[in-house]
A and B are shown apart, each in its own frame.
Chain A
Amino acid sequence: MTTYSTTLSVNGIPYSLAFDASRNLLSVIRNEVGLTGTKEGCDDCECGACMVLLDGHPVNSCSYLAAQATGKEITTVEGLSSGDELHPIQRQLLDAGGVQCGFCTPGMIMSTDALLRRTPEPTDEDIRIGLSGNLCRCTGYAKIMEAVKATAVELSGS
Protein backbone atom coordinates (compact mmCIF):
# COMPACT_ATOMS: atom_id res chain seq x y z
CA MET A 1 0.00 0.00 0.00
CA THR A 2 2.29 2.75 -1.18
CA THR A 3 0.01 4.40 -3.72
CA TYR A 4 -1.40 7.69 -2.51
CA SER A 5 -4.77 8.73 -3.90
CA THR A 6 -5.73 12.36 -3.70
CA THR A 7 -7.06 15.36 -5.54
CA LEU A 8 -4.64 18.13 -6.44
CA SER A 9 -5.84 21.53 -7.58
CA VAL A 10 -3.61 22.85 -10.36
CA ASN A 11 -4.38 26.25 -11.88
CA GLY A 12 -7.88 26.03 -10.44
CA ILE A 13 -8.66 22.64 -11.95
CA PRO A 14 -9.04 19.57 -9.64
CA TYR A 15 -7.18 16.44 -10.76
CA SER A 16 -7.95 13.03 -9.19
CA LEU A 17 -4.61 11.26 -9.04
CA ALA A 18 -2.94 8.16 -7.64
CA PHE A 19 0.84 8.08 -7.35
CA ASP A 20 3.62 6.60 -5.23
CA ALA A 21 3.91 8.51 -1.96
CA SER A 22 7.59 9.19 -2.61
CA ARG A 23 6.85 11.15 -5.83
CA ASN A 24 7.77 14.81 -5.83
CA LEU A 25 5.32 17.47 -6.94
CA LEU A 26 7.41 18.24 -10.04
CA SER A 27 7.12 14.73 -11.47
CA VAL A 28 3.39 14.55 -10.74
CA ILE A 29 2.73 17.92 -12.39
CA ARG A 30 4.72 16.95 -15.49
CA ASN A 31 3.85 13.27 -15.85
CA GLU A 32 0.41 12.80 -14.26
CA VAL A 33 -1.20 16.20 -14.74
CA GLY A 34 0.62 16.60 -18.06
CA LEU A 35 1.74 20.21 -17.68
CA THR A 36 5.36 20.39 -18.84
CA GLY A 37 5.99 24.13 -18.46
CA THR A 38 7.53 23.46 -15.05
CA LYS A 39 11.11 22.28 -15.63
CA GLU A 40 13.48 19.84 -13.96
CA GLY A 41 16.85 21.57 -13.71
CA CYS A 42 19.16 20.49 -10.90
CA ASP A 43 16.60 18.27 -9.10
CA ASP A 44 18.50 19.39 -6.00
CA CYS A 45 16.57 22.44 -4.76
CA GLU A 46 19.24 24.84 -6.05
CA CYS A 47 18.19 26.25 -9.44
CA GLY A 48 14.51 27.19 -9.23
CA ALA A 49 13.54 25.87 -12.70
CA CYS A 50 10.86 23.73 -11.00
CA MET A 51 9.30 26.61 -9.10
CA VAL A 52 5.53 26.64 -8.68
CA LEU A 53 3.29 28.60 -6.35
CA LEU A 54 1.59 26.84 -3.43
CA ASP A 55 -1.19 29.04 -2.11
CA GLY A 56 0.64 31.93 -3.79
CA HIS A 57 4.08 31.23 -2.32
CA PRO A 58 7.02 30.10 -4.47
CA VAL A 59 8.14 26.53 -3.71
CA ASN A 60 10.68 24.28 -5.43
CA SER A 61 8.48 21.43 -6.61
CA CYS A 62 11.46 19.05 -6.99
CA SER A 63 11.92 18.82 -3.24
CA TYR A 64 8.28 18.88 -2.19
CA LEU A 65 6.25 15.68 -1.88
CA ALA A 66 3.21 15.74 -4.15
CA ALA A 67 1.04 14.23 -1.42
CA GLN A 68 1.67 17.26 0.80
CA ALA A 69 0.20 19.58 -1.84
CA THR A 70 -3.24 18.13 -1.12
CA GLY A 71 -5.63 20.93 -0.18
CA LYS A 72 -3.34 23.65 -1.48
CA GLU A 73 -3.79 25.66 -4.67
CA ILE A 74 -0.95 24.89 -7.08
CA THR A 75 -0.14 27.47 -9.75
CA THR A 76 2.18 26.63 -12.64
CA VAL A 77 3.36 28.82 -15.50
CA GLU A 78 0.44 27.52 -17.58
CA GLY A 79 -1.89 29.12 -15.05
CA LEU A 80 -0.70 32.66 -15.75
CA SER A 81 -1.42 33.12 -19.45
CA SER A 82 -5.02 33.32 -20.58
CA GLY A 83 -5.49 31.31 -23.74
CA ASP A 84 -3.01 32.50 -26.34
CA GLU A 85 -2.52 35.84 -24.64
CA LEU A 86 0.74 36.08 -22.73
CA HIS A 87 0.87 37.33 -19.17
CA PRO A 88 2.61 40.75 -18.96
CA ILE A 89 5.64 39.11 -17.29
CA GLN A 90 6.00 36.73 -20.23
CA ARG A 91 5.64 39.50 -22.80
CA GLN A 92 8.08 41.82 -21.00
CA LEU A 93 10.66 39.03 -20.70
CA LEU A 94 10.46 38.46 -24.45
CA ASP A 95 10.59 42.19 -25.24
CA ALA A 96 13.62 42.76 -23.00
CA GLY A 97 15.56 39.77 -24.37
CA GLY A 98 15.32 38.13 -20.96
CA VAL A 99 14.72 34.71 -22.53
CA GLN A 100 17.57 32.88 -24.23
CA CYS A 101 17.53 29.09 -23.80
CA GLY A 102 14.33 29.54 -21.81
CA PHE A 103 14.83 26.73 -19.33
CA CYS A 104 14.84 28.99 -16.25
CA THR A 105 12.05 31.18 -17.59
CA PRO A 106 9.00 29.44 -16.06
CA GLY A 107 10.63 29.58 -12.62
CA MET A 108 11.62 33.22 -13.10
CA ILE A 109 8.03 34.00 -14.07
CA MET A 110 6.59 32.30 -10.98
CA SER A 111 8.99 34.13 -8.66
CA THR A 112 8.19 37.43 -10.38
CA ASP A 113 4.46 36.84 -10.10
CA ALA A 114 4.74 36.13 -6.36
CA LEU A 115 7.04 39.13 -5.85
CA LEU A 116 4.83 41.63 -7.66
CA ARG A 117 1.68 40.46 -5.92
CA ARG A 118 3.35 41.11 -2.57
CA THR A 119 5.46 44.11 -3.61
CA PRO A 120 3.85 45.91 -6.58
CA GLU A 121 6.58 48.60 -6.68
CA PRO A 122 9.77 46.69 -5.91
CA THR A 123 13.22 48.21 -5.48
CA ASP A 124 16.17 46.63 -7.30
CA GLU A 125 17.08 44.95 -4.01
CA ASP A 126 13.53 43.56 -3.67
CA ILE A 127 13.82 42.08 -7.17
CA ARG A 128 17.24 40.58 -6.46
CA ILE A 129 15.93 38.92 -3.29
CA GLY A 130 12.69 37.86 -4.98
CA LEU A 131 14.59 36.12 -7.80
CA SER A 132 17.47 34.88 -5.64
CA GLY A 133 16.32 31.27 -5.91
CA ASN A 134 16.32 31.26 -9.72
CA LEU A 135 19.51 30.57 -11.63
CA CYS A 136 19.97 31.66 -15.25
CA ARG A 137 23.11 30.61 -17.13
CA CYS A 138 22.39 32.60 -20.31
CA THR A 139 21.28 36.16 -19.77
CA GLY A 140 23.47 37.53 -17.00
CA TYR A 141 20.24 38.63 -15.27
CA ALA A 142 20.34 42.30 -16.37
CA LYS A 143 17.64 41.85 -18.99
CA ILE A 144 15.52 39.82 -16.60
CA MET A 145 15.79 42.67 -14.07
CA GLU A 146 14.69 45.10 -16.80
CA ALA A 147 11.71 42.90 -17.64
CA VAL A 148 10.58 42.65 -14.01
CA LYS A 149 10.82 46.42 -13.59
CA ALA A 150 8.86 47.01 -16.80
CA THR A 151 6.21 44.53 -15.66
CA ALA A 152 5.90 46.27 -12.31
CA VAL A 153 5.34 49.60 -14.07
CA GLU A 154 2.83 48.07 -16.47
CA LEU A 155 0.84 46.28 -13.77
CA SER A 156 0.83 49.09 -11.21
CA GLY A 157 -0.02 51.66 -13.89
CA SER A 158 -3.07 49.83 -15.17
Chain B
Amino acid sequence: MTSITIPTSLRDVLEALAGGARPIAGGTDLVVSSRQGKAPLPEALVAIDQVAELSEVKTGTDGLMIGAMVTHARLMTEELLVESYTAVADAAALVGSPSTRNVGTIGGNVMNGSPAMDTGAPLVVLGAEVELRSTSGSRRVSLADLWTGPGRTSAAPDELCVAVHLPLRPVRSGSAYVRLEYRRAMEIAVVGAAASVSLAEDGTIAAVAVALTAVAPTILAVPDLDALVGLDPTVAAQRVAPAASATATPISDLRASDTYRRHTIGVMATRAVEAAARRASGETIAVPVNRALGIGAAR
Protein backbone atom coordinates (compact mmCIF):
# COMPACT_ATOMS: atom_id res chain seq x y z
CA MET B 1 0.00 0.00 0.00
CA THR B 2 1.56 3.22 -1.18
CA SER B 3 0.52 6.85 -0.99
CA ILE B 4 1.99 9.67 -3.05
CA THR B 5 2.04 13.45 -2.91
CA ILE B 6 3.21 15.62 -5.81
CA PRO B 7 4.16 19.06 -4.46
CA THR B 8 5.30 21.99 -6.58
CA SER B 9 7.44 23.61 -3.88
CA LEU B 10 10.73 22.34 -2.52
CA ARG B 11 9.65 23.21 1.01
CA ASP B 12 6.66 20.85 0.74
CA VAL B 13 8.93 18.09 -0.59
CA LEU B 14 11.37 18.54 2.32
CA GLU B 15 8.53 18.51 4.83
CA ALA B 16 7.19 15.29 3.34
CA LEU B 17 10.67 13.76 3.64
CA ALA B 18 10.89 14.93 7.26
CA GLY B 19 7.58 13.11 7.81
CA GLY B 20 9.04 9.84 6.54
CA ALA B 21 8.18 9.90 2.82
CA ARG B 22 10.75 8.73 0.25
CA PRO B 23 11.46 10.75 -2.91
CA ILE B 24 10.70 9.57 -6.45
CA ALA B 25 11.99 11.29 -9.59
CA GLY B 26 11.64 9.44 -12.92
CA GLY B 27 10.98 6.06 -11.33
CA THR B 28 13.41 4.13 -13.55
CA ASP B 29 15.12 2.52 -10.54
CA LEU B 30 12.42 2.62 -7.88
CA VAL B 31 9.45 1.42 -9.93
CA VAL B 32 11.43 -1.20 -11.85
CA SER B 33 12.86 -2.63 -8.60
CA SER B 34 9.41 -2.85 -7.07
CA ARG B 35 7.98 -4.61 -10.11
CA GLN B 36 10.87 -7.07 -10.13
CA GLY B 37 10.12 -7.78 -6.48
CA LYS B 38 13.57 -6.62 -5.34
CA ALA B 39 12.25 -3.90 -3.05
CA PRO B 40 8.61 -2.95 -2.53
CA LEU B 41 7.66 0.67 -3.10
CA PRO B 42 7.91 2.75 0.10
CA GLU B 43 4.64 3.32 1.96
CA ALA B 44 4.79 7.08 1.42
CA LEU B 45 6.24 8.63 -1.72
CA VAL B 46 6.82 12.26 -2.58
CA ALA B 47 7.31 13.02 -6.27
CA ILE B 48 9.89 15.72 -6.91
CA ASP B 49 9.38 16.20 -10.65
CA GLN B 50 6.96 19.14 -10.36
CA VAL B 51 9.43 21.35 -8.44
CA ALA B 52 10.64 23.68 -11.20
CA GLU B 53 13.90 24.78 -9.53
CA LEU B 54 15.14 21.17 -9.48
CA SER B 55 15.23 21.15 -13.30
CA GLU B 56 17.55 24.14 -13.68
CA VAL B 57 21.04 24.17 -15.18
CA LYS B 58 22.88 27.36 -14.18
CA THR B 59 26.38 28.77 -14.40
CA GLY B 60 27.78 30.78 -11.54
CA THR B 61 31.12 32.20 -10.42
CA ASP B 62 32.06 28.85 -8.91
CA GLY B 63 31.03 26.65 -11.81
CA LEU B 64 27.94 24.83 -13.02
CA MET B 65 24.89 23.78 -11.04
CA ILE B 66 22.81 20.90 -12.40
CA GLY B 67 19.41 20.49 -10.75
CA ALA B 68 18.66 16.98 -9.48
CA MET B 69 15.71 16.54 -11.87
CA VAL B 70 17.74 17.22 -15.03
CA THR B 71 17.25 14.21 -17.30
CA HIS B 72 19.86 12.22 -19.20
CA ALA B 73 18.26 13.41 -22.45
CA ARG B 74 19.10 16.97 -21.43
CA LEU B 75 22.55 16.17 -20.01
CA MET B 76 23.67 14.73 -23.36
CA THR B 77 22.59 17.79 -25.35
CA GLU B 78 22.91 20.74 -22.94
CA GLU B 79 25.54 23.00 -24.47
CA LEU B 80 27.06 24.01 -21.11
CA LEU B 81 27.83 20.35 -20.45
CA VAL B 82 28.85 19.27 -23.94
CA GLU B 83 31.28 22.20 -24.14
CA SER B 84 33.00 22.05 -20.78
CA TYR B 85 31.96 18.90 -18.90
CA THR B 86 31.84 16.57 -21.89
CA ALA B 87 32.36 13.31 -19.99
CA VAL B 88 28.95 13.76 -18.33
CA ALA B 89 27.32 14.10 -21.77
CA ASP B 90 29.26 11.04 -23.04
CA ALA B 91 27.87 9.00 -20.16
CA ALA B 92 24.31 10.30 -20.33
CA ALA B 93 24.14 9.47 -24.05
CA LEU B 94 24.96 5.81 -23.30
CA VAL B 95 22.31 5.31 -20.63
CA GLY B 96 19.42 2.98 -21.54
CA SER B 97 17.42 4.13 -24.56
CA PRO B 98 15.66 7.38 -25.47
CA SER B 99 12.72 6.45 -23.24
CA THR B 100 15.01 5.82 -20.25
CA ARG B 101 16.93 9.04 -20.85
CA ASN B 102 13.70 11.04 -21.02
CA VAL B 103 12.80 10.22 -17.42
CA GLY B 104 16.05 9.15 -15.73
CA THR B 105 17.64 11.99 -13.75
CA ILE B 106 21.10 12.89 -12.53
CA GLY B 107 19.86 13.17 -8.95
CA GLY B 108 18.24 9.76 -9.08
CA ASN B 109 21.37 8.31 -10.64
CA VAL B 110 23.69 9.73 -7.98
CA MET B 111 21.46 8.82 -5.02
CA ASN B 112 20.75 5.29 -6.31
CA GLY B 113 24.48 4.75 -5.77
CA SER B 114 25.03 1.97 -8.29
CA PRO B 115 28.74 1.21 -8.85
CA ALA B 116 27.84 0.65 -12.53
CA MET B 117 26.14 4.03 -13.10
CA ASP B 118 27.56 5.73 -16.19
CA THR B 119 27.37 9.33 -15.00
CA GLY B 120 29.22 8.63 -11.73
CA ALA B 121 32.83 8.36 -12.92
CA PRO B 122 32.56 11.58 -15.00
CA LEU B 123 31.23 13.47 -11.97
CA VAL B 124 34.12 12.15 -9.85
CA VAL B 125 36.88 13.26 -12.26
CA LEU B 126 35.21 16.65 -12.69
CA GLY B 127 35.25 17.19 -8.91
CA ALA B 128 31.49 17.25 -8.42
CA GLU B 129 29.81 17.92 -5.11
CA VAL B 130 26.25 16.96 -4.28
CA GLU B 131 24.00 19.44 -2.49
CA LEU B 132 21.79 17.75 0.10
CA ARG B 133 18.94 19.65 1.66
CA SER B 134 16.49 18.96 4.47
CA THR B 135 14.14 21.07 6.59
CA SER B 136 17.06 21.64 8.97
CA GLY B 137 19.57 22.92 6.42
CA SER B 138 21.81 22.28 3.48
CA ARG B 139 25.26 20.76 3.00
CA ARG B 140 27.59 19.81 0.17
CA VAL B 141 29.39 16.48 0.07
CA SER B 142 31.92 15.03 -2.34
CA LEU B 143 30.91 11.85 -4.14
CA ALA B 144 33.64 9.93 -2.32
CA ASP B 145 31.92 10.88 0.95
CA LEU B 146 28.43 10.27 -0.42
CA TRP B 147 28.78 6.70 -1.74
CA THR B 148 29.35 4.18 1.03
CA GLY B 149 28.58 0.94 -0.85
CA PRO B 150 26.45 -0.51 -3.64
CA GLY B 151 23.11 1.31 -3.43
CA ARG B 152 24.12 3.02 -0.17
CA THR B 153 24.84 6.68 0.56
CA SER B 154 25.75 8.73 3.61
CA ALA B 155 22.68 10.95 3.12
CA ALA B 156 20.14 10.95 5.95
CA PRO B 157 16.64 9.69 5.02
CA ASP B 158 15.22 13.22 5.20
CA GLU B 159 17.91 14.74 2.97
CA LEU B 160 17.10 15.39 -0.69
CA CYS B 161 19.75 15.70 -3.39
CA VAL B 162 18.73 19.05 -4.90
CA ALA B 163 21.69 19.65 -7.22
CA VAL B 164 25.08 18.52 -8.44
CA HIS B 165 27.76 21.23 -8.50
CA LEU B 166 30.69 21.13 -10.92
CA PRO B 167 33.66 23.48 -10.37
CA LEU B 168 34.98 25.75 -13.14
CA ARG B 169 37.25 24.04 -15.67
CA PRO B 170 40.91 25.01 -16.07
CA VAL B 171 42.17 26.25 -19.45
CA ARG B 172 43.18 23.61 -22.02
CA SER B 173 41.11 20.91 -20.33
CA GLY B 174 38.95 18.10 -21.63
CA SER B 175 37.11 15.09 -20.31
CA ALA B 176 35.70 11.83 -21.65
CA TYR B 177 33.83 8.71 -20.53
CA VAL B 178 34.12 5.35 -22.28
CA ARG B 179 32.68 1.98 -21.39
CA LEU B 180 32.99 -1.65 -22.36
CA GLU B 181 29.57 -2.92 -23.42
CA TYR B 182 28.14 -5.95 -25.21
CA ARG B 183 25.35 -4.06 -26.96
CA ARG B 184 24.66 -0.43 -27.72
CA ALA B 185 21.33 0.14 -25.98
CA MET B 186 19.67 -0.88 -22.73
CA GLU B 187 23.12 -1.86 -21.54
CA ILE B 188 24.97 -1.66 -18.24
CA ALA B 189 28.70 -0.96 -18.26
CA VAL B 190 30.80 -4.13 -18.06
CA VAL B 191 33.47 -1.68 -16.96
CA GLY B 192 33.82 2.04 -17.66
CA ALA B 193 36.34 4.82 -17.17
CA ALA B 194 36.22 8.61 -17.11
CA ALA B 195 39.18 10.93 -17.44
CA SER B 196 39.72 14.64 -17.01
CA VAL B 197 42.91 16.08 -18.49
CA SER B 198 44.41 19.58 -18.40
CA LEU B 199 47.36 20.33 -20.64
CA ALA B 200 50.29 22.67 -20.06
CA GLU B 201 51.18 25.18 -22.79
CA ASP B 202 53.72 22.74 -24.20
CA GLY B 203 51.03 20.06 -24.56
CA THR B 204 52.19 17.86 -21.69
CA ILE B 205 49.91 16.78 -18.87
CA ALA B 206 49.29 19.52 -16.29
CA ALA B 207 46.63 17.61 -14.33
CA VAL B 208 44.83 14.30 -14.78
CA ALA B 209 42.06 12.47 -12.92
CA VAL B 210 40.65 9.03 -13.72
CA ALA B 211 37.68 7.25 -12.15
CA LEU B 212 36.42 3.72 -12.67
CA THR B 213 32.94 2.23 -13.14
CA ALA B 214 31.75 -1.28 -12.18
CA VAL B 215 35.03 -2.57 -10.74
CA ALA B 216 34.48 -1.98 -6.99
CA PRO B 217 31.61 -1.58 -4.48
CA THR B 218 31.49 2.12 -5.39
CA ILE B 219 32.85 4.20 -8.25
CA LEU B 220 36.50 4.90 -7.44
CA ALA B 221 39.09 7.49 -8.36
CA VAL B 222 42.49 6.09 -9.35
CA PRO B 223 44.89 7.42 -6.66
CA ASP B 224 48.39 8.84 -7.03
CA LEU B 225 48.43 9.94 -10.67
CA ASP B 226 50.79 12.85 -9.95
CA ALA B 227 53.64 10.94 -11.63
CA LEU B 228 51.83 11.47 -14.96
CA VAL B 229 52.19 15.28 -14.76
CA GLY B 230 54.69 16.57 -17.30
CA LEU B 231 54.37 13.53 -19.55
CA ASP B 232 53.23 13.48 -23.15
CA PRO B 233 49.49 12.52 -23.10
CA THR B 234 50.14 9.41 -25.21
CA VAL B 235 52.66 8.13 -22.69
CA ALA B 236 50.43 9.08 -19.75
CA ALA B 237 47.51 7.21 -21.33
CA GLN B 238 49.58 4.01 -21.48
CA ARG B 239 50.87 4.39 -17.92
CA VAL B 240 47.38 4.84 -16.49
CA ALA B 241 46.32 1.30 -17.47
CA PRO B 242 48.26 -0.65 -14.81
CA ALA B 243 47.28 1.95 -12.20
CA ALA B 244 43.60 1.49 -13.07
CA SER B 245 43.87 -2.31 -12.99
CA ALA B 246 45.62 -2.15 -9.61
CA THR B 247 42.83 0.08 -8.20
CA ALA B 248 40.08 -2.27 -9.36
CA THR B 249 38.64 -4.93 -7.04
CA PRO B 250 36.07 -6.38 -9.43
CA ILE B 251 33.63 -9.24 -8.94
CA SER B 252 32.87 -12.09 -11.33
CA ASP B 253 29.30 -12.31 -12.52
CA LEU B 254 27.40 -13.37 -15.61
CA ARG B 255 28.59 -10.27 -17.45
CA ALA B 256 32.35 -10.75 -16.97
CA SER B 257 34.95 -12.45 -14.82
CA ASP B 258 37.03 -10.50 -12.33
CA THR B 259 40.17 -11.19 -14.40
CA TYR B 260 38.55 -9.84 -17.57
CA ARG B 261 37.26 -6.76 -15.76
CA ARG B 262 40.66 -6.09 -14.21
CA HIS B 263 42.31 -6.19 -17.63
CA THR B 264 39.70 -4.26 -19.60
CA ILE B 265 39.43 -1.47 -17.02
CA GLY B 266 43.04 -0.63 -17.90
CA VAL B 267 42.18 -0.50 -21.60
CA MET B 268 39.19 1.75 -20.93
CA ALA B 269 41.27 4.06 -18.69
CA THR B 270 43.85 4.46 -21.46
CA ARG B 271 41.17 5.30 -24.02
CA ALA B 272 39.47 7.75 -21.67
CA VAL B 273 42.74 9.62 -21.08
CA GLU B 274 43.51 9.65 -24.83
CA ALA B 275 40.08 11.08 -25.69
CA ALA B 276 40.15 13.61 -22.84
CA ALA B 277 43.61 14.81 -23.91
CA ARG B 278 42.49 15.20 -27.53
CA ARG B 279 39.54 17.28 -26.38
CA ALA B 280 41.84 19.29 -24.09
CA SER B 281 44.00 20.10 -27.13
CA GLY B 282 40.96 21.62 -28.84
CA GLU B 283 39.88 18.68 -30.98
CA THR B 284 36.13 18.06 -31.18
CA ILE B 285 35.15 14.44 -30.60
CA ALA B 286 31.38 14.02 -30.83
CA VAL B 287 29.32 12.81 -27.85
CA PRO B 288 29.38 9.95 -26.97
CA VAL B 289 33.03 8.97 -27.41
CA ASN B 290 32.02 5.30 -27.57
CA ARG B 291 30.26 5.93 -30.90
CA ALA B 292 32.64 8.58 -32.25
CA LEU B 293 35.73 6.39 -31.79
CA GLY B 294 34.11 2.97 -32.24
CA ILE B 295 34.69 1.84 -28.65
CA GLY B 296 32.35 -0.78 -27.19
CA ALA B 297 29.69 -2.73 -29.04
CA ALA B 298 29.61 -2.80 -32.82
CA ARG B 299 26.36 -2.02 -34.59
Q: A residues bordering B, Cβ < 8 Å? A: 1-2, 4, 20-22, 24, 43-46, 48, 51, 54, 57-60, 62-65, 67-68, 70-71, 111, 114, 128-130, 132-134
Inter-chain CB contacts under 8 Å: number: 93
Report whether A24 and B98 are in contact in the complex, using a CB–CB cutoff of 8 Å.
no
- In chain B between 41 and 77, which residues have their CB closer than 8 angstroms to a CB of chain A? 41, 45, 47, 49-50, 73
List, in ascending order, chain B residues with CB within 8 A of A132's CB: 97-98, 184-186
List, in ascending order, chain A residues with CB within 8 A of B203's CB: none
Pick the residue among B27, B28, B73, B98 that contacts A111 (CB under 8 A).
B98
Grouping DSSP codes into helix (H, G, I), strand (E, B) and loop, the A interface class, with mixed when no group exceeds half, is: mixed
Most buried by A among B6, B96, B184, B299: B6
List, in ascending order, chain A residues with CB within 8 A of B50's CB: 71
List, in ascending order, chain A residues with CB within 8 A of B2's CB: 2, 20-22
Given A2-B3, A132-B98, residue A64 in contact with residue B186 (CB < 8 A): no
Report whether A129 and B98 are in contact in the complex, using a CB–CB cutoff of 8 Å.
yes
- Bound-complex Cα distance A63 to B30 (A): 8
List, in ascending order, chain B residues with CB within 8 A of A46's CB: 186
Given contacts A4-B4, A65-B27, 16 further A-B contacts (CB under 8 A): A2-B2, A2-B3, A21-B4, A22-B2, A43-B35, A51-B99, A57-B99, A57-B102, A58-B99, A58-B102, A67-B47, A70-B6, A128-B184, A132-B184, A133-B98, A134-B97
- Bound-complex Cα distance A62 to B27 (A): 10
User: From B41, which residue of chain A is reached at the shortest CB distance?
Assistant: A22
Is B234 on the interface with A (CB-CB < 8 A)? Answer: no
List, in ascending order, chain A residues with CB within 8 A of B185's CB: 129, 132-133
List, in ascending order, chain A residues with CB within 8 A of B146's CB: none
